[in-house]
Structure 1
Amino acid sequence: MRRVKTGSRTLYIILIAGFFAILGSTMSKSPTLPLYAQSLGLGKGEIGLVAAASTVTGIFMNFASGLLSDVYGRRKLLKMAGFVFLSAPLLYFLTDNALSLALVRVYYGVATAIFVPVSFALVSDLYPDRKGTFMGFLSSSTLVGRALAPVLAGSIIYFLGFSVVFVLCSLTGLVVFALTFRFPETGEELKRFEFTFSGELLLIGLLDAAVYMAYQGIETFLPLFYYLQDKAWLSGLILTVEIAIMAVVKPYVGYLSDRVGRIKPILAGMTMVGLAMFVFALSDSLSLVVLGAVLFSVGASISEASTKPLATEVSRLRGTALGFLESIKDIGQALGPVLIGFLGLRTGFAFIGVFGILSLGLFLFARPGRKSLKK
């Protein structure tokens, strides 16, 4: 990889791009997508399939985009993502049925599937000695965009309608597209396509899958706890606090992982995630639900702030490694609500907690060099 001059200005550009990328993409789906689909006359089953379209895209595209960035460079791929962020929202105007809306969601999903792993790989390339810290800042910038998007989109829909939301999403994409031209070029580490499977990378991916099983399970089923039913504002507030905690904590725990190594934070974070799931499974009061949400958000932040940097350290192909990690994460995110839906709230959350602890145990005892906690 060729060396490039970097400074705080480059980091700020990446953080701003990350904020607008996730702000626009989240505004297009939360709460816009189900409401817009309903306005087109789609049923609940069709709405569910349309909503899943972009997630399924991510499962396949994350890995491919990371690999392509190792071959053709990060900036080229990020420019492509920026163009999709710009153009995809405008295609909503052409939709009039479930199939056309699903195709737009698949196309939109390509943007996020490229941007997330490749932008993190870019940060890892530019700041190898502080990658945990600065990956934490990038994650926080995207979380801020994710937190603001539903309130902003919902208010615009209420007062001005869907069209203004779609135009605004396109404008945020224009900002991202313009900023990608300011990104330095890194990557281009492969002359041809190749990927050597890494068992350690799969173990790291299982940890992220467990975290996002839990995250999507909480987001989906929190409003259905009996003491939160008919209190949508309260469940929304808890979820907002959860995201806010992650946004604040991630840079600090990223810095911590740069100082003490990746394994100790992963051990602490995944233990907290597992305990949080058992709290949700056994909860019989609002105070326990709040405790579980806080415990999960802190634990997830600690773990994820170390898993991403660690993935770039166990593979020389940083883009491919992060893309693979995102694909495994998306599988977990898709499975979380399904498992809880079939098993029930108590059994489902407990199952995810057990899965998280078992994944941690497998990671600690099956990974190469497991005797050292400093790596």
Structure 2
Amino acid sequence: MGSKSLYLILLAGFFAILGSTMSKSPTLPLYAESLGLSRGDIGLVAAASTVTGIVMNFSSGLLSDLYGRRKLLIAGGFVFLSAPLLYFLADDALTLTLVRVYYGVATAIFVPVSFALVSDLYPDRRGTLMGFLSTSTLVGRALAPVLAGSIIYFLGFPVVFVLCSITGMVVFLLSFRFPDTGRELEKFEFTFSRELLVIGLLDASVYMAYQGIETFLPLFYYLQDKAWLSGLILTIEISIMAVVKPYAGYLSDRIGRRKPIIIGMTMVGLAMFAFAFSSSLWAVIAGAVVFSVGASVSEASTKPLATEVSRLRGTALGFLESIKDIGQAAGPVLIGFLGFKLGFLSVGIFGLVALGIFLARTGEHNVQT
């Protein structure tokens, strides 16, 4: 398969996540506040799309195995196009929540199905090229907040919503040019896989940590009243991931999936211990850097590995995304209730336990096909 299809998918990944992230960061809480919503309501609205993802990731992956990748991606592109325009109709917590639920469908379709498409098209380089797709989405995620924030400040919310719709239109139009793969299923079926669950636990622990850092980093006492610095650290974190993932994917293609997962998850655990026992700003920065590299190395292997332990690649990646979203939702709750020290420590231990279960399941053989 030539490189043209890959470039189209990477471009769609950039615009899909650019638009969806612009619609929520920092747009969503500011827009919700302008409608008069309370902080409690804003929290529920913000969680709506994540809850959608938990259900829809698996469903969209399964449907792509049944009906083909392109049809699902076209449907997702239509949601990216239409959802931002519905913000104009939202005037209270309920309608805004419904908009976020609908918008969440787009990301829940695009992420697992686009990665499955790359895995279908480039089986010999799936780790490397899935890493490039991750990077394209991370670049969009990194640019979105500053772009949306600037537009809101100078031009207002309507311009942001229209721009998000335009990025969705780009994704929608590009989707018609994607190769059509999938259709491994003739009827609905899914056999539960313990291997997939174990791989999912690894990703869940990574995103428990990621969302915990993103949520609570600004609240460390030496970062209070320094919003610019916490924002800079988070930007550096995303930038490191964007750079490392393709290289980590290439490494995974060359030496197998198991060794990078061991290295990456060990680094994630160490980073959480650094956050738990941090006594200075430099310890937090070091923890963020170590986490970024470790998360990138691990995830660059877990996604391609999921497509190798199951013939239903869309379903496998959708299942992985659903488990990941559960971890992402649980991380801030866990740290919020247990406190910084015990919370980050618990997340780190959970990750290392997940790694131990993975090692026990895979033994000494090479898990790459």
- Indicate whether the TM-score tops 0.5: yes
**Corresponding residue of 1:218:** 213
What SS is found at the alignment partner of 2:222? Answer: coil
Q: Is the 8 A contact 1:264 1:373 kept in 2?
A: no
- 1:279 matched to 2:271? The reply is no
- Partner of residue 261 from structure 2, selected from 266, 270, 286: 266
Mapped partners of 2:365, 2:90: distance in 1? 55
Q: Is the 8 A contact 2:203 2:299 kept in 1?
A: yes
Mapped partners of 1:374, 1:78: distance in 2? 29
**Corresponding residue of 1:209:** 204
Give % identity. Answer: 81
**Corresponding residue of 1:344:** 339
What SS is found at the alignment partner of 1:252? Answer: helix
1:372, distance to aligned residue in structure 2 (A): 1.3
Q: Is the 8 A contact 1:62 1:324 kept in 2?
A: yes
Unaligned runs of 5+ in 1: 1-5
1:129-208 matches, within 5 Å, as 129-208=124-203
Unaligned runs of 5+ in 2: none
**Corresponding residue of 2:40:** 45
Q: Is the 8 A contact 2:208 2:329 kept in 1?
A: yes
Q: Is the 8 A contact 2:73 2:110 kept in 1?
A: yes
What SS is found at the alignment partner of 1:131? Answer: helix
Mapped partners of 2:87, 2:194: distance in 1? 41
Tell me the C-alpha RMSD between the 2 structures: 0.6
Report the residue type matching 1:265 in the other structure. Answer: P
- 1:331 matched to 2:290? The reply is no
- 1:371 matched to 2:347? The reply is no
Mapped partners of 2:66, 2:365: distance in 1? 33
Mapped partners of 2:137, 2:258: distance in 1? 25
1:374, distance to aligned residue in structure 2 (A): 5.7
Mapped partners of 2:82, 2:53: distance in 1? 18
Mapped partners of 2:334, 2:207: distance in 1? 13
Mapped partners of 2:140, 2:367: distance in 1? 34
1:68-83 matches, within 5 Å, as 68-83=63-78
- 1:104 matched to 2:99? The reply is yes
Q: Is the 8 A contact 1:315 1:321 kept in 2?
A: yes
1:19, distance to aligned residue in structure 2 (A): 0.1
Report the residue type matching 2:246 in the other structure. Answer: P
1:312, distance to aligned residue in structure 2 (A): 0.2
Mapped partners of 1:58, 1:253: distance in 2? 26
Q: Is the 8 A contact 1:72 1:188 kept in 2?
A: yes
Q: TM-score, normalised by structure 1?
A: 0.98
Mapped partners of 1:373, 1:11: distance in 2? 28
Mapped partners of 2:75, 2:108: distance in 1? 11
Mapped partners of 1:50, 1:219: distance in 2? 18
Report the residue type matching 2:29 in the other structure. Answer: P
Q: Is the 8 A contact 1:37 1:47 kept in 2?
A: yes
Q: Is the 8 A contact 1:84 1:108 kept in 2?
A: yes
Q: Is the 8 A contact 1:213 1:337 kept in 2?
A: yes
1:366, distance to aligned residue in structure 2 (A): 2.5
**Corresponding residue of 1:236:** 231
**Corresponding residue of 1:3:** none
- Partner of residue 128 from structure 1, selected from 93, 107, 123: 123
Q: Is the 8 A contact 1:21 1:173 kept in 2?
A: yes
Mapped partners of 1:231, 1:354: distance in 2? 30
Q: TM-score, normalised by structure 2?
A: 0.99
Moved over 6 A (4+): none
Mapped partners of 2:329, 2:241: distance in 1? 21
